[in-house]
Amino acid sequence: MKVIGKDTQRVDGQALVKGNPVFADDIKLNNLLHVKILHSPVAHAKIISIDVSKAQTLEGVESVFTHKDFNPHYYTTAGQGYPEPGPRDMRILDSKVRFVGDRVAFVAAETLEIAEQALSLIEVEYEELPCLFDMEEAMTSDVIIHSNPDKTGLHDAAHNVAAHLDAEIGDVDKTLESSKFVFEGTYSTPFVQMASIEPHISLTWLDENNRLVIRTSTQVPFHVRRIVAEVMGIPVSKIRVIKPRLGGGFGGKQEILNEELVAAVTLKTGRPARIEYTRAEELFAARLRHPELVSFRLGFDENQMLTAIDLNILENCGAYGPHALTVMSVTAQKALSMYKAPSIRVNGDGVYTNLPIGGAYRGYGAPQAFFPLESLMDEAAETMGIDPIELRLKNVFKVGDDIPIAKILGEGREGFPMVLYSTEIEACLEEGRILSDWERLRSEPGNGRYRRGIGVAVAGQGSGIPGIDMGAAFIKMNEDASFNLQVGATDLGTGSDTALAQIAAEVLGVSVDKIIVYSSDTDMTPFDTGAYASSTTYISGSAVKKAAENCKTMILEQGRLLLGNETAEIDGTFVKDGNGQSISFEDICIKSFYTEEQKQIMGTASHLSYDSPPPFNATFAEVEVDTLTGTVRVIKIVSVTDAGQIINPKMAEGQIEGGIPQALGMALSEFMPFDDKGGPINLDFNSYHIYTARDMPELIVRFADSHEPTGPYGAKAVAEIPINAPAPAVTNAVYNAVGVRIKHLPIRPEEILGAISRNRAN
């Protein structure tokens, strides 16, 4: 292949490095109103009264909005398939608040300073209600967080259960009873935040035809259009959504967060409006990764083969449940798609609490699955006396295997049969074994204050949501044999515009600079469900490939007509026959426009897949534990990934290198503490500690030689897979170093010190 698999400069690279105005806020609007939100200072309360008179009379205030200004319409902010699988439990503004940070009112003013001053003038009387911060308590309490019967999609409002999940194949209890070995453990993962450099920001205005234009930092422009139309009560045809470059999303922008607010301002006032979250608002009022309390029971026979997997999930949704069912479904589906067991069972509940809202975050439930699963697999390997790598190799799904859980668990719908057509997890583990120096490090017992250890974990993900995600593409030819490629797919900084241009260029036999990409504009580009579920390369890339093939077919047809020879074929950027005649792509296009057989050469296509081939990853972590302080330092990470055919190696490597620090943050430094009234404590990057460049270990990133027959040119997804395995690899390495099993993230030095002391006492 000429383009696929080659390092190619990003199509937006020049604009980005030059600092050109490409982001949502890089636009100047006249007569602009600034919007600020009044967030609730209490975790659970009824609004008894709200007086906005002082704010409204403040000079420079255009409008103040409260719950009295909107109809009692319930919707979900989750930007995902329709009809949405999650609860419809949210209003623009409500007469009840459910977490510290919930929306109480919002103001539109001439300046940001005036808007902030106006917020301080709004007088609110609250009737505080009992708060629920613990998931298990919430399920048995008499306090009901969502009591309105008009809300739909809630599993059991009376017990604060937003969503429920259960499925079983075989007889798990009977199988576990007869198993030679049974291992069980309960593990937890914390609230963590996406920490995108660019915060949520949205701008709205009315165009010359009085249509609402929304320019927003989003991963899901078509879902934004649909949901804003529904909430505002206007037709989709009256809304245009433009997604410019994104300064990071990681799932946090798979949410209709504030677009409906600025839309309301513009529709009421006729003026452009702008809203931007501060970093503090991002940390307490945007979205977080769902904390989960996950229990596994694993059964093995005398040959160390899995007999049963029993999985129980308790998911903290926070105050609302936009992703309650789907995140929990992914936790189950990914965990149960890694290892083959005749009997499997999952039971899960997504629970409302009076804490911030759980949303979509890279991995989307899979990191919460693989931390406990891979930790328990390591424990099982030690007890059964088998190398951890060998235990995994014995039990992973192989090519040709049916993955039975896929038939039962979709993301809110019934799943589809899934056969594994490609997997190179064995190659990933074997290469990682060598690159990490596994044998030597495992065989050298630590001593002294600083103890070194090494751990391994494997993980899978998916490539789009089968039967749900759809992408479309349109490509047309220009006189110089360049091509305009229009796709609804959202490039959220991953470089997907470049990858899709490479796919089109490979089909058409031209260089990538001949492909002019325009994406994510609901007026100008075809539909796409958006950038989530690792779907863009696999789903949208397949649509691009088909559209380019259709365009190429039309080029050949026109070339044959112009040459007068039905046997002519494409050779490079020419159509040639066997008689020495040829015509260039440029001449074919010009003649098609202006002289003979006049028509536009173009191709269109859509793509929906009932397959979702898993990419796989093996991560090896080398750590150093200070036995005096309990601190853990990651020395080296080796990450080997099977993502099928890599479209752009440098961009794929960047995806891996970007996912690892997010995983290490969850493992070692990131969490969201709250005070006894549910108030968030860590509200800036001085106190909320993301992994930075200075914290990073040595990284070794490799890709297995792989080909997925259902993907475009053999490609699978690469975006989410790197985030799933580093945390358990690190905790397994900690055990190898000091004999301490970590079951609750993030790793706390005091927990390590306490466990070391107990081990010494015993």
Tell me the DSSP string of 449-512.
SEEEEEEEEEEE--SS-TTT-EEEEEEEE-TTS-EEEEE----SSS-HHHHHHHHHHHHHT--G
Indicate whether 112 and 202 sit together in one domain: yes
Indicate whether 423 and 509 sit together in one domain: no
Domain-terminating residue out of 584, 608, 632: 608
Domain count, the chain: 3
Q: What angle do CA 144, 149, 153 make, to 5 degrees?
A: 90
Amino acid at 547: A
Indicate whether 503 and 529 sit together in one domain: yes
CA distances from 179 to 170, 299, 307, 343, 721 (A): 14, 6, 7, 11, 32
Amino acid at 253: K
Position 476 scores a pLDDT of 98
Position 597 scores a pLDDT of 80
For strand 470-477 and strand 483-487, is the pairing parallel, antiparallel, or unpaired?
A: antiparallel
CA distances from 583 to 505, 570, 703 (A): 19, 10, 41
Tell me the DSSP string of 503-564.
HHHHHHT--GGGEEEEE-BTTTS--B--S-TT-IIIIIHHHHHHHHHHHHHHHHHHHHHHHT
d(CA 566, CA 570): 12
Indicate whether 252 and 124 sit together in one domain: yes
Indicate whether 95 and 64 sit together in one domain: yes
Position 762 scores a pLDDT of 79
Indicate whether 508 and 379 sit together in one domain: no
CA distances from 441 to 34, 220, 446, 742 (A): 57, 45, 9, 20
Indicate whether 588 and 640 sit together in one domain: no
Position 445 scores a pLDDT of 76
Which strands sit side by side in the sheet containing 306-318, from one edge to the other?
A: 161-169, 343-352, 306-318, 292-300, 181-189
Q: Is 372 part of any domain? A: yes
The stretches in the chain having pLDDT less than 50 are none
Position 746 scores a pLDDT of 98
Q: Could you tell me the CATH number of the domain that includes residue 236?
A: 3.90.1170.50
Indicate whether 622 and 555 sit together in one domain: no
Q: Is 312 part of any domain? A: no
Ranges of beta strands (E only) in 20-134 are 33-39, 45-51, 61-65, 96-97, 103-109, 123-128
Question: pLDDT digits over 371-396, tens only?
Answer: 999 999 999 999 999 999 999 999 99
Q: Is 290 part of any domain? A: no
Domain-terminating residue out of 608, 626, 652: 608
Q: Is 152 part of any domain? A: no
d(CA 575, CA 582): 6
Residue 240 exposure: Cα atoms within 13 Å on the Cβ side: 15
Position 679 scores a pLDDT of 98
Q: Is 122 part of any domain? A: yes
Q: Is 158 part of any domain? A: no
Position 580 scores a pLDDT of 92
d(CA 373, CA 458): 10
Q: Is 755 part of any domain? A: yes
Indicate whether 625 and 504 sit together in one domain: no
CB distance 721 to 537 below 8 Å = no
Domain-terminating residue out of 593, 608, 623: 608
Asked whether the whole model's pTM tops 0.95, one would answer yes
What is the end-to-end Cα distance of the chain in Å, rounded?
A: 62
Q: Which residues of 637-646 are buried (b: 16+ CB within 10 A; e: fewer)?
A: bbbbbbbbbb
Q: Is 320 part of any domain? A: no
Residue 656 is encoded by which pair of tokens?
A: 């891996």
CB distance 668 to 731 below 8 Å = no
Position 707 scores a pLDDT of 98
Position 321 scores a pLDDT of 98
Query: Collapsing DSSP states into helix, strand and coil, what is residue 646?
Result: coil
Question: pLDDT digits over 288-310, tens only?
Answer: 999 999 999 999 999 999 999 99
d(CA 102, CA 151): 18
Q: What is the span of the domain harbouring residue 512?
A: 13-17+466-608
Position 510 scores a pLDDT of 98
Q: Could you tell me the CATH number of the domain that includes residue 585?
A: 3.30.365.10
d(CA 279, CA 248): 14
Position 414 scores a pLDDT of 79
Indicate whether 595 and 633 sit together in one domain: no
Indicate whether 367 and 223 sit together in one domain: no
Indicate whether 554 and 579 sit together in one domain: yes
Alpha helices in 358-437 (DSSP H): 366-384, 388-395, 405-408, 425-435
